[in-house]
Amino acid sequence: VAWDESAAGERRTRVSIWEIEPVAAPFFICPPPFFRSKRPRQPGMP
C-alpha cells in the first residue's frame, strides 16, 4: 500500500489529468448534439 501513495499516487494523478483532458473534450462535444436531437423529439416530456 506504500507504493500506491508513493509513486503510483503521484504518477497516476498526473497521467489521469492528461488522459481525462483529451477524453473529456470529445466526450462533452458528443453528448450535446445527441441530447439536442432527443429534446425536440420528445416535446411532451418536461
Each domain of the chain, given as residue ranges in start order, spans 1-36
Calpha distance 19→15 (Å, rounded): 6
For residue 15, what pLDDT is reported?
A: 54
For residue 12, what pLDDT is reported?
A: 47
Give the CA distances from residue 12 to residues 8, 29, 31, in Å, rounded to whole numbers and listed in that order. 5, 26, 27
- Please write the tens of the pLDDT for every residue from 17-45: 555 555 555 555 555 555 555 555 555 65
